[in-house]
Amino acid sequence: MKILVVGNGGREHCLVWKIAQSKYVDRIYTAPGNPGTAEYGENVDIDGLDIDNLLKFALEKEIDLTFVGPEAPLVGGIVDRFQGAGLKAFGPVKNAAILEGSKVFAKGFMKKYGIPTAEYKVFNNAEEALEYIKDKGAPIVVKAEGLAAGKGVVVAKELSTAVEAVESMLIEKKFGSSGQRIVVEEYLEGEEATVLAFVDGKTIVPMIASQDHKQAYDEDRGPNTGGMGAYAPAPLVDEKMMEKVKREILFPTLEGLKSEGIDYKGVLYTGILIKDGSPKVIEYNVRFGDPEAQVVLPLLKTDLVEIALAVIEGSLSELEIEWFDKKALCVIMASGGYPMEYEKGKLISGIDKVDGRDDLLVFQAGTKLVDGELYTDGGRVLAVTAIGSSFMEVIEKAYSGVEKIYFPDFHIRHDIGHKALKYI
């Protein structure tokens, strides 16, 4: 089979790495890809949002299956276009991708179908939003409605932070059209986890749970980022909790989608918060998380291409999905200043010191190759992922990998995985 992967981040590098292990695959193209994906196939100089040229390329090359990594092309309707041209694409169609494309829709959907989530209110007027926030008090959460690359959520511990968030979204238009409406919701206490699931429109099969670390600094301090590291399986979501998540969240979500006439096929990401044994949904995403993919996919035993085909064909219930009995943990090496202002173009060294190992992987995200040398080209630059038999082992292994790699002013969190240790 000829495979096309759309995207250029760490998630896409991980997807390409996993797809390359499939017995079905002959050739992999990545558009636009990065220096990491180029090691497994051919990078194609087409932007992930250029659906017209992606479709043209897929038809010319007779691509058998396309994996769409990021959310923006999915929300833009790439799967509809590919299907309309008779091509197979793994991911939800446009009217299903609205679960991530509009937080207003997602919150209304959860309320309608009794899926546990935070209380909320929607605003497009800054004055009304500020009045509501001052009445409710802090802590409180402010979210831009649309896509904001993981940065459109402000968890405001102080009233002043919430006021700044409202002003930046509704008055200063920091997120453009994505911030024309905002969701203001109650602050939920508890511990966070991510449950990714394969969905074929009729069946929903959860993957092993993972835990992302969204705040920029240790001990969950600082602004939200796209994710500073993750680990799996998250012991917070044990067998009993997973059954509860399926019963109270995943199954009602699938039934709700069916009731709305939405044929959801692909990956559903459910971010949940757990307190006193009760899970509540923080957000839905409509694709593999990043960096969750970098710890979940290395533990997947079943052929990913086989799963994708079963999802597209609606035969997921006939497939047994297996997992390796291991732990995985990744530490994101970010540019100094991320998620705010940061510089690009810093020389990266040391990746060659960890290359070639099965238990320590470096997935490239914000990188570029210039005259044979690797340079930083984004906020999140590398995802250093360790695989092992215990959380202590993968924590030590991942951070030892980080120590071998260097670029000026790099920033990491030093406490990825520490929450897992309390369950030992």
pTM > 0.75: yes
Number of domains forming the structure of the chain:
4
Cα torsion 240, 242, 244, 247: sign? negative
- Parent domain of 274: 191-318
Phi first, then psi, for residue 224 (nearest 5°) are: -70, 145
Cα gap 4→68, rounded to integer Å: 8
The per-residue pLDDT for 370 is 97
* Amino acid 150: pLDDT: 63
The answer on 238 and 292 residing in a single domain is yes
> Could you tell me if residue 303 is inside a domain?
yes
Which DSSP symbol is given to 210?
A: B
Q: Of 77, 93, 109, which marks where a domain is finished?
A: 93
Do 313 and 209 lie in one domain? The reply is yes
CATH number at residue 139: 3.30.1490.20
The residues near 202 (Cβ < 8 Å, ≥ 6 apart) are 314, 316, 317
Give the count of beta carbons closer than 10 Å to the beta carbon of residue 229. 27
Instruction: Decide if 36 contacts 8 (C-beta within 8 A).
Output: no
Weakly modelled stretches of the chain, pLDDT under 70: 149-151
Regarding whether 222 and 269 lie in a shared domain, the answer is yes
Pairing of strands 42-43, 27-32: parallel
- Asked if residue 312 and residue 222 are part of one domain, the reply reads yes
Ramachandran bin of 417, using left for φ above 0, alpha for ψ from -120 to 50, beta for the remaining angles? left
Quick check: helix, strand or coil at residue 191?
strand
Query: Which of the 8 DSSP states describes residue 301?
Result: -
Whether residues 400 and 295 share a domain: the answer is: no
Q: Which CATH number is 79's domain given? A: 3.40.50.20
Instruction: Report the C-alpha gap between 287 and 6 in whole angstroms.
Output: 12
In terms of domains, do 15 and 86 share one? yes
Show which of 275, 296, 318 is a domain's final residue: 318
What CATH number has the domain bearing residue 379? 3.90.600.10
* Residue 231: predicted pLDDT: 98
Measured distance CA(145)–CA(166) in Å, rounded: 12
Are 138 and 173 in a shared domain?
A: yes
Please tell me whether the peptide bond between 139 and the residue prior to it is cis, using omega within 30 degrees of 0: yes
Give the β-pairing of 89-90 and 120-123.
unpaired
Same domain, 167 and 229: no
Do 287 and 339 fall into the same domain? Answer: no
User: Does a structural domain hold residue 373?
Assistant: yes
User: pLDDT tens across 58-117, in order?
Assistant: 999 999 999 999 999 999 999 999 999 999 999 999 999 999 999 999 999 999 999 999
pLDDT of the residue at 175: 83
Helix (H) or strand (E) holding 78: helix 78-84
331 DSSP β-pair partners: 229, 384
**What is the per-residue pLDDT for 106?**
95
State whether 9 and 26 are in the same domain.
yes
